[in-house]
Structure 1
């Protein structure tokens, strides 16, 4: 574009010099001036000093004028990396306004806490639950999800993503349940009302000790905008009134928070004023500690800061007990309907509503995910928990991401970073205790479930992600928005790098939607809205595709490599490839621009083919269709694929790059500049690397199989089936391991502190993709059809049995599974892409 501008300038200058006769013949001016030479000299001699002074002043004025035009005091132009793509936003589509937007206004959109409610708006009114758990006869505060709390089990057993959810939280000494429900009544404000029922039961075989017979819950309400809240009469001991707190907001009008419980006699409270609520549990603990030291009881101080923006209510009662907490919006009308609305959301009426919603959830689950009776009841329970936690783990975040600017010096950014524009994100999350934020490549797997349950929630989430695209077509791979999200992220992972991508897995879900549209599997209104969505999304998807196709392209036509690998590391056995999503999966030992990554090549084929399908569906210009068709054809060229990546010795596909196997980590004494040298694990290269296929077999070796680029009659397909089913390579009785047992990197640490991650453990999303393709090839005519069917049935059975067994023993779905014994490992409550086990159970596979 810049070259075009410069060319246009040159053309205009040439044209002007040709059309102006004085400029065309400059000698004419000189001749004319010579006729007036004497008079000019006389004037000049008389006023020499004046003219010199005048000239200096005129020159200064001219310089000032030019400087004013340039305006050096003006802020530098916004860097491209934080400039939004100039295209209509998907979230401005009519389908996401009106009733849809209001129906999703309130929700359990705070996945990082055990129970929390907020609205899909910045500076929301938020609510949440804390409680005191007992362990080894000591009290511990529970609020933010964390493994160190050692809950036996927690998570949503059912959740519909909109207006209902039921959660079980099993402590050492008691079990809590939180049931959430929304209601839109006549007279309620925007978004309606909501209620939560908290139940507390004692666990069996708990010692008969006094401290274990009473439960201490702390329910709070806070205004993120800092607006003050008003204490209700319930906590001021006015008999017969249920109001805990009240206030007013421009979005929902006047509101009230009520408590109804026959088991709770008194409520204590404390008020706080703080700019953030992520440290609220610390404030409550400090308040309780002061009370315990001074008065000898666990009781809030019944006091508050002036004009508190947070109110915390202590609800203590003998176990068992239950309490209904009701939030009413639009309460300014002083008529009986407010009381009627409150009573409808409490007691037996609320019980009936919960029962109806649970029945609706069960029926819809049965219809959306058809599970064979042969699986039995336990897999159904696990499937519902997988879906419930996926939908219950959807969060809403608002804030600014921190973006690196490695080659640009910006004012007030000594670390060469800059903030992305303020943005909102509505997204599912991988894991509530460990990763309660948005991850781009996880989200494509999440949407494979969510679109089957509620296509509008799915489109809403995908739209939020695509609206985060910058002018170059880049989307941050990890979104850390707001103080609560930031509080859960180690500092080294906060900065996002605009040179690095993430697998474009959103195309997995979009491709499914396109396929179902073509098969007319949607209702007429849904089909129309999906088409409208794709039509507006096309410019963003196109920019995203072109970002990959230019920034991640390799040296050879049709080759790609993941950027972001550390070329100078001395502490990693194999430099990580975080942008690929496979982290420490072994690539070429020495990162370089000569690399070719087979997984990225296959992702690009999926993206190009999906873009072509969207263009066809929308009946776009033939040149657009041809562009993507040609790219997809190039990337599906089987001969070219094999030439670039096939290891003919074992029929496996490999990366290509500057590589040597003679690399190890050894302990060395490192001088630190102080008097005390340090002993560190340092990378040692014992052999010069050469350009070659990288001889590691694992998930990457199967990507052409995963994305079905291998013809069903090719002998290479047989080799891939051998690779999958070989117990000495990838096969286990619990699923396929991520890296072959024969690899020199198998289960090897990557640094002193980094245990193997994608170097052997079993990961469910890649197993899902492999099972999907096995199912595909078992349906395709060819000599390996029956073999594919046999391997498919065995692998599917192994995965289901192991995941269900782990859930039964531990109460959780896990991030990964041990290849030796099948035990769940890594982050627990990992109901992000591990939830794709439900799709395996239902044999609901992605389209390619």
Structure 2
């Protein structure tokens, strides 16, 4: 009957959409969405770097560098890739949307420079402009601020691709102009225009005719496509050679001549090539624009229109943010929230290239030393469209981080979330594996320590991507049913406009998402089976334990492959304490929990697709996992979910299982991902007690990762042994809402009055503590962090962690203030 109703629903909606001629197909949707996402600063590892998405054979690439050339030390302080060691006062996006544009501000006291990059696009999305504006911070100090823009049109030497200066244009216009062509982008023009900039002017003549810092300097050479990421190294090398040549002619260079000496020139007489360096040096305020226009485009960007485009883009981004997040303009959190969320989006990157995989090295069940992956081979090329946890420290794709990124993005731009998810799912290989870290190409690899570059198909990671996908499908199903209900009653909802800029096309055409789910389902099924098979634990070791023998479901017990004596990197909670002596028979509660999440997600997909046999199977597996969480991992003495290990010294069968209990995120996880049944009131009570206890987990800044009473609290690396992480805190807040707001328990609220009172108090307190502390640290330091100190609330770990810490925005603008 349910299946028949759903088929009728689909038929009615399709008929309505066809009648109204409103339904695009998936290919048409993809084309529309891709156009608005074609260009953006997708090289998030650069302070500012542009490249088109999914144009990978012959892409145009742009990057920016800067340094203060007033003295010889300036060359050592060239900024290019985002580096924590640069110790900038601040950098990041103050408003940004990849479909529309944004403004990035940079404060660099060491180079005495305040710098802004503002990016906008034409309505079609095929043309763009960047406004570069800056000034010296301290005008009492002499400055020669060199801004270097480099551009390259990729393409093989024998191809028709080129990028060259248009000298005819330069003679007749007060701008620099370059012509380019690629088979993917076709013909285009890139122009540079200055607006009353204070170019550096020296009181003495330049050292040579081609090193005059008062005018733009252009240097061209050929650089192989796969070497462009070394643009800074190339620039510094050429400049050092040039400086050395100056010194050989004039060993006693005056201080006044240093800006001239640090102006790039063609010292080696290279023929013009496919890379163009444009260096401009300023002594005060400057403002110039870079404009990219495709030949014969209908909406080319005119130089005089850029300020207007910027104003329009800022308004559009602001209005979109206000519609998606309920944060009053009078709120002190408004600026913090928009900037933090903009920096999450600012980490959106497009990667293309090969990755390193070791498929030969296996893991010995009895060996818990770190395994060296020495048999790597390049595979690919592949492509990935993904956000990154941190532009400075982690500019690559992380499997379990991305699920949290998507949970944030769903409320703002569900179409973009789908594009990212689609890209990740395309990486599922023939065995069903997705790497836990996706590091594509030399540029991405250059930012990764050698020991982490190689991936192995035995290693898993928490499957948060399926958590996000099932949430997408759940919303699509709800929307579809609401649309049917509305049309059946003759009601028409006048909601926000559906457009590619809003990122809500799929929400008005949920059938497209459901169609994709049907296409991707076989790959997801393979991924599901890979995860279960590769991480399966040895439950048979415990079958002599009476309580396990009588109640456990044999197929559902798991452990993380790749765990070592000191770390369990695959779990995501790297140094969280596990059994002191590792054992091949140990079973990890979080591994089982995440398989439960994965199963629930697959059940949701099977339900939407009317796959009755699969739905029945997933329902059974999920129920078995829920029961095994209690049968295997619940310790009745400590009232916690715990890992277990095999006790060789047991004197009776019941003691063969040894609980490894460490109160913290691990013990809370089954609750946080909503795997505890609503009617399991006793365990819900114990978990509430755990989260509410200031002597164990609760702090004025959020929930500690590990109890203050644990023997390993605040020891060793102190990574997941005390510090506060916002991703798990967010899940706990969301779970509190799930269990105590819209819950079957609500009908029995009087019976459980104290429980609901405790949950409501904890929710309000925890939400407020996290928001207030994260905001206070941002107000003081200008950044959000990877984690927060469990004793004083200060930011710790990676600075400017633009990934899941941005979940604080959802806490402010999406989660209710009270249950």
Q: TM-score range by the shorter chain?
A: 0.7 to 0.9
Partner residue, 1:360: 316
Corresponding residue to 2:333 among 374, 379, 382: 379
Find the residue that maps to 2:695 and give its secondary structure.
coil
Give the secondary-structure state (helix, strand or coil) at the position aligned to 1:109. Answer: coil
Which residue of structure 2 lines up, in the alignment, with residue 699 of structure 1? Answer: 665
**Structure 1 residue 415, shift from structure 2 partner:** 3.4
Q: How far off is 1:377 after superposition?
A: 3.2
1:816 corresponds to: 787
- Report how far residue 342 of structure 1 moved: 4.5
Q: Secondary structure at the match of 2:708?
A: coil
1:208 alignment counterpart: 140
Partner of 1:284: 235
Aligned equivalent of 2:254: none
Report whether the alignment pairs 1:770 with 2:732: yes
2:516 is matched with which residue: 533, 543, 557?
533
Deviation at residue 659 of structure 1 after TM alignment: 7.7
What RMSD over aligned residues (CA atoms) do the two structures have, in Å?
2.6
Deviation at 1:796? 0.5
Deviation at 1:235, TM superposition (A): 11
Contact 1:234 1:241 in 2 (8 A): no
The 3-state SS of whatever aligns with 2:514 is helix
Larger displacement relative to structure 2 (443-452 or 270-279): 270-279
Report Cα offsets for 1:259-288 as digits up to 9, x if no partner: 111325621021232221121111212233
Matched, 1:804 2:775: yes
Do the aligned partners of residues 134 and 592 (structure 1) sit closer, same or farther apart at CA in structure 2, a change above 3 Å counting?
Answer: farther
Q: Does 1:555 pair with 2:522?
A: no
Q: Give the distance between the partners of 2:400 and 2:121, measured in 1 at CA.
A: 31
The two structures have a TM-score, normalised by structure 1, of: 0.77
Q: Of 580, 596, 611, which residue of structure 2 is paired with 1:589?
A: 580
SS of corresponding position for 1:277:
helix
Equivalent in 596, 608, 615 of residue 625 of structure 1: 615
Shift of 1:466: 0.8
Alignment partner of 1:794 out of 735, 741, 765: 765
Partner of 1:142: 79
Structure-1 separation of matches of 2:527 and 2:191: 48
Residue 301 (1) aligns with residue 265 (2): yes
Does residue 244 of structure 1 match 2:177?
Answer: yes
What SS is found at the alignment partner of 1:453? Answer: coil
1:468 positional shift: 0.7
Name the CA distance, whole Å, in 2 between partners of 1:438 and 1:122: 18
Q: Which consecutive unaligned segments of at least 5 residues does structure 2 have?
A: 1-24, 200-213, 247-257, 363-371, 483-503, 540-553, 650-654
| Structure-to-structure mapping, 1:320-719, within 5 angstroms | 320-330=285-295, 341-343=300-302, 346-347=303-304, 349-371=305-327, 377-407=331-361, 415-520=374-479, 525-556=508-539, 557=554, 558-566=556-564, 574-620=565-611, 622-637=612-627, 640-658=628-646, 691-712=657-678, 714-719=681-686
Residues 524/511 of structure 1: CA separation in 2 closer, same or farther (3 Å cut) = closer
| TM-score normalised by length of structure 2 | 0.80
Structure-2 change in CA distance of 1:137 and 1:220 (3 Å): closer
Kindly indicate whether the alpha-carbon contact (under 8 Å) linking 1:589 and 1:659 is maintained by their aligned counterparts in 2. Answer: no
Name the CA shift for 1:241/1:144 in 2 (closer, same or farther; >3 Å): same
Q: Write out per-residue CA displacement over residues 226-260 of structure 1, whole angstroms, 9 at most, x where no aligned residue.
A: 55745425699635252332221111212221011
Instruction: Pick closer, same or farther for the CA change 1:288–1:548 going to 2, 3 Å.
Output: same
- In 1, the alpha carbon distance for the partners of 2:67 and 2:453 equals 31
Measured in 2, the distance between the counterparts of 1:414 and 1:799 equals 39
What's the counterpart of residue 17 of structure 2? none
Alignment correspondent of 1:24 = none
8 Å contact from structure 1 (residues 444, 509) kept in 2 = yes
Residues 153-192 of structure 1 aligned to structure 2 (within 5 Å)? 153-172=90-109, 173-184=112-123, 192=126
* Structure 1 unaligned spans of 5+: 1-91, 186-190, 567-573, 662-688, 750-754
Q: 1:419–1:493: structure 2 CA closer, same or farther, 3 Å change rule?
A: same
Distance 1:583 1:798 in 2: 25
Q: Deviations over 1:567-617 (max 9, x none)?
A: xxxxxxx43111111111111223333121111212111211121121111
Decide whether the 8 Å contact of 1:802 with 1:822 is kept in 2: yes
- Aligned equivalents of 1:582, 1:406: Cα separation in 2: 26
Cα gap change, 1:475 to 1:235, in 2 (>3 Å): farther
Residue by residue, what CA displacement relative to the aligned partner does 1:747-777 show, whole Å, maximum 9, x if unpaired? 221xxxxx22111111110111011112223
Conserved 8 A contact 2:97-2:317? yes
Aligned equivalents of 1:465, 1:607: Cα separation in 2: 16
Q: 1:378 to 1:151 in 2, by over 3 A?
A: farther
Residues 69, 145 of structure 2: 8 Å contact kept = no
Instruction: Kindly state the Cα deviation for residue 209 of structure 1 after the two structures are TM-superposed.
Output: 2.0
Question: What does residue 255 of structure 1 align with?
Answer: 188
Q: Give distance in 2, aligned partners of 1:555 and 1:235.
A: 74
Q: Residue 71 of structure 1 corresponds to which residue in structure 2?
A: none
The 3 A distance-change label for structure 1 pair 389 and 407 is closer
Q: Equivalents in 2 of 1:767, 1:128: separation in Å?
A: 37
1:98 is displaced (CA, Å) by 2.4
CA deviation digits over 1:308-355, x for unaligned, max 9?
A: 121110012232111111112226x9xxx8xx9342xx34x2111111
CA contact (8 A) 1:699 1:766 kept: yes
Aligned with 1:740 (options 707, 716, 728): 707
The offset of 1:394, in angstroms, is 0.7
Measured after TM superposition, the shift of residue 437 of structure 1 is 0.7
Q: Deviations over 1:111-132 (max 9, x none)?
A: 0000010012224110011010
Change (3 A) 1:494 1:350: same
Which stretch of the first structure deviates more once superposed, 790-799 or 549-558? 549-558
Deviations 1:665-687 (A, max 9, x none): xxxxxxxxxxxxxxxxxxxxxxx
Correspondence for 1:15: none
> Are 1:586 and 1:745, in contact at CA under 8 Å, matched by a contact in 2?
yes
Deviation at 1:812, TM superposition (A): 0.9
Q: Distance in 2 between matches of 1:195 and 1:738?
A: 45
Q: Distance in 1 between matches of 2:647 and 2:179?
A: 66
Q: 1:709 to 1:233 in 2, by over 3 A?
A: closer
Is 1:218 equivalent to 2:152 in the alignment? no
1:487-511 deviations in whole A, cap 9, x for unaligned? 0001000110111111110122122
CA distance in 2, matches of 1:813, 1:136: 34
Secondary structure, counterpart of 2:616 in structure 1: helix
Question: Residue 44 of structure 2: which of 105, 111, 121 is its match?
Answer: 111
Are residues 407 and 641 of structure 1, via their aligned partners in 2, closer, same or farther at CA, if it must alter by over 3 Å? Answer: closer
**What's the secondary structure of 2:703's corresponding residue?**
coil
Runs of 4+ in 1 over 6 A off after TM superposition: 134-137, 234-237, 521-524
Matched, 1:268 2:201: no
Distance 2:665 2:566 in 1: 18
Supply the distance in 2 between the matched residues of 1:712 and 1:256 (Cα, whole angstroms): 62
Give the aligned partner of residue 128 of structure 1.
63
CA distance change for structure 1 residues 313 and 112 in 2, over 3 Å: closer, same or farther? Answer: same
> Does the Cα contact within 8 Å between 1:229 and 1:311 map onto a contact in 2?
no
